[in-house]
Amino acid sequence: MKLFGGPAKRIWRKAVALICAAACVVGVSACGSDDASDKIKIGIKFDQPGLGFKKSGTYVGFDVDVAKYIAKKLGYSEDQIEWKEAPSKQREAMLQNGDVDMIIATYSITDSRKEVVSFAGPYFVAGQDLLVRADDDSISGPEDLNGKRLCSATGSTSATVVKEKFANEVQLMEQPSYAECATALLSGIVDAVTTDDIILAGLASASGGRLRVVGDPFTQEYYGVGVKKDDTELVAKIDAAINEMIEDGSWEQAIKDNTAGTDYTPNAKYNPPTANQGIIPDDGEDS
């Protein structure tokens, strides 16, 4: 039986199109296209082995594993994660502009940052340490760097901390990234690299046993999950996910997986932490 024909059929088609368009506007996935609400956008580093690293179209590292765990607890599968590169200088703007829903990218919780974004966590407490060649036993701490060459990434203050507090005769060298510092270390151009221990552990793991972390951290950096300012509901959900990841053993396994081949272990005085809405203990450093 033919219900519609001619003008009536055309009117029906227009009505269906209008209904579908309206559904798309309110976020109903009924129009044959992907709904943005089905995705979660997470900012990570793309160039930090062991933490956030883009490799042949996939993303690997401890921060990535933490992000996947949190996303799952929020109801998203891995296929629903949209990874965004989050360079250090752009992180606050990315959150404020809504380019990402959260950032998990060695993002230290500081008072100045909390003025413009909110933090869940911490999910890890890093400490500044040194990376040296595996066969070099002359460096056991920052005090041993006088007369030696120390590399850090351009714009970092970590090498300056060493020079000002521990070894005023150290020779400082900068490279665009810590991976390039590691290359300089392997080739003998520098004697050590300094930054957060978990970053150095990732570089050591990627070196195939040729580099090692000294294992004597001398600062504390509380890594948090950055979200848009005052999104307390999301902060509470992320905190719960982080604490569950620690309790069920997934956190420890992720550390082991991403620092394989090294003797690295997180500083037991501070790790694993308790996620408590971005609160830093009194002994935390603001860096």
Q: Which pLDDT belongs to residue 285?
A: 43
Average the pLDDT over 265-287 and give the result: 77
pTM above the 0.75 mark?
Answer: yes
Q: Residue 23: is its pLDDT beyond 70? A: no
Q: Which pLDDT belongs to residue 36?
A: 58
Average the pLDDT over 117-125 and give the result: 97
Question: How many angstroms separate the CA atoms of 178 and 182, rounded?
Answer: 6
For residue range 26-51, what is the model confidence (pLDDT) as tens digits? Answer: 333 333 334 557 999 999 999 999 99
Which residue type, as a one-letter code, is found at position 42? I
Q: Which pLDDT belongs to residue 154?
A: 87
Average the pLDDT over 150-159 and give the result: 90
169-173 contacts at long range (C-beta below 8 A, 24 or more positions apart): 170/145, 170/146, 171/147, 173/149
* Greater model confidence, 34 or 124: 124
Q: Which pLDDT belongs to residue 9?
A: 44
Q: Residue 1: is its pLDDT beyond 80? A: no
Q: Residue 2: is its pLDDT beyond 50? A: no
Q: Which pLDDT belongs to residue 35?
A: 55
DSSP conformational letter for 37:
G
Q: Residue 205: is its pLDDT beyond 80? A: yes
Q: Which pLDDT belongs to residue 25?
A: 42
Average the pLDDT over 221-246 and give the result: 97
Range scoring the smallest mean pLDDT among 69-83, 148-162, 238-252: 148-162
- N- to C-terminal Cα separation, the chain: 75
Mean pLDDT of the chain, nearest integer: 88
Range scoring the smallest mean pLDDT among 125-129, 133-137, 157-161: 157-161
* Greater model confidence, 218 or 27: 218
Query: From the CB of residue 219, how many other CB atoms can be counted at a distance below 10 Å?
Result: 16
Q: Which pLDDT belongs to residue 6?
A: 52
For residue range 64-87, what is the model confidence (pLDDT) as tens digits? Answer: 999 999 999 999 999 999 999 999
Average the pLDDT over 172-200 and give the result: 96
Average the pLDDT over 237-262 and give the result: 97
CB-based burial, 40-73: b 16+ in 10 Å, e otherwise:
bbbbbbbebbbbbbbeeeebbbbbbbbbbbbbee
Domains of the chain: 36-126+221-258 (3.40.190.10), 128-213 (3.40.190.10)
